[in-house]
Structure 1
Amino acid sequence: MNFIKHDEPCAVDYVSFVYVAQSTPPSRESVKAGGVATFVNGRLAITCRHTLDDFIDRLGTGTPVTEKDTAIGMVTQSNAGFSLTGIQHTETEAALWSIRRTFRCSDSDLALLLVAPASEGAQRLDDKKIGVAKIRLALPQEGEKVFAYGFAGSDILTASPEKLAIRLMSYTSEGIVNAVHPSGRDKLMPFPCFQTSCRFDSGMSGGPIFNSAGELCGVIASGYDVEDGADPISYGAAVWPILSMTINADLPDAPKGEFYTVYDLACRKEKFLHVADLDAIERIPLPNGQTAWRFK
């Protein structure tokens, strides 16, 4: 197991960013360093749900979250009581992203963020159309090597209506998959997930987990404290449950003002999502109107 601190931006910084929440009016005390998100589309990034839930609990106004159906919990800046800002630092650019809307998965610790450029650096990255992760829907296998990325121990330095400064400390963690839970581990983790020996520290939640081919196969969900010298016990959420999420993201060339599933988005010829094994999964409509998924 390796846990490596990066003193300079690395390749993963082109696809991932850290996000923070600010209440209104902003102050240093009201800013909460959040999780990590990874671009799966030029306007959509995947992260963990529990970080957003925590923001709503601590900073939210109490306004009910809009519910379209069991697959969606939609939060916008107008009903959340706080704003979200993505901060990205690559080898060539420092970028800010405005997080316009969030979609929380009801079946897993996953969420999607709808973003837009909020700085010249972000606009330049957006114009280059780089930095989108390729998705692997299938869970990794036991014994498979994986590596994860996140921002552990990042500090809020300044927060005001005019300026937001944060010290980013990024880490890569390598390990192997120790166990796979296709239907969930237990009541605490009732969603498809896997256990890994990667070390996940506080602040890395939502970060990407890649397989040896560099494909996004999981999202950092949790890490447990262990005795000195023991291998870390950490968990990643499988990516495939986002397929059933219903979103209204108003993406370029996508239906305007309409709700659609992420699966339908992935199947479109425009290739809104880069999925390595989309043909390996089958959507099964159920009599009650819900959807089941089966790997072929």
Structure 2
Amino acid sequence: MISAGFRIFAGIAGLFLSLIFTTHAFAEGWPREIKTSHGILTLQQPPQRIVSTSVTVTGTLLAINAPVIASGASGPNSRFADQQGFFRQWGDIAKQRGVERLYIGEPNAEAIAGQAPDLIIIAATGGDSALKLYDQLSAIAPVMVVNYDNKSWQDLAKELGQATGKEADAAAVIARFEAREAALKKAIKLPPQPVSALVYSADGKTSNLWTPVSPQGQLLQELGFKLALVPLNIAASLSQGKRHDIIQLSGEKMPDALNGQTLLLFSASQTDAERLLTNPFLAKLPAVEGKRVYAMGDDTFRLDYYSASNMLTQLETLFTAR
């Protein structure tokens, strides 16, 4: 007969062994080396206090359940951002997880240091890049520089998953999204092709045209859309420096470059689509004459899992039979 004392001892021993194996599993695969545009980053263990200086990257971190504790923010209470300055598509999730706002706009090293991070993530390009503080922030914690202008949010999720030990979470959220994407591709009835995908300015005088390597361009092509080719002289003269995802257009260049049979407006509502239709400078565009101008939603300027999912919903609403 097994005594009560033995059962207690066995229980304690089992708990001790469980802790040992849990610790071993936690450390398995670490330290690991992460390739970045600023060289090899060595991380000794899975980070527990991640600070994201890029409000664009924060959405993908949240989607893979990475332990992000604070994030840079954009201007609050806008069409695109909530009262914290976090993007509306994931602002509620950030609130639920207790993500704090670091600053609005201009990067602040002191605010970042105050969070005692064990990993700092910086965007290499874009308006939310804190790259100029790289050396200063490297004295606080390991700094990971990521590009989001030349890859899909899925590729970014894989990259962040490797750095944070959240590979399984990244794989799961990607699989969930891609299953929905595949179902939509079968159901969708494409509008006249090719399409021009762009962000149209509030004053109607400029626009940013998404390139095939942009996350927006990649998602459209995966669904079967064809992106209209931009005349080489325009593409060569108006690409924006280090950015891979957009071609800036203005003035007389716009009608020549917006040559798609359909226009898809990003970071836009139906009101913006109607405003473009009344622009006399663009009146002779085939898409305008045919009234084939569609809004993809306010939250599609930067794609993460949440905004890309909303974009699938919008495309389903616009281009599938009911």
Q: Tell me, yes or no, whether TM beats 0.5.
A: no
The structure with the largest helix share of the pair is: 2
Greater Rg over alpha carbons, structure: 2
Relative contact order higher in (CA < 8 Å, ≥ 6 apart): 1
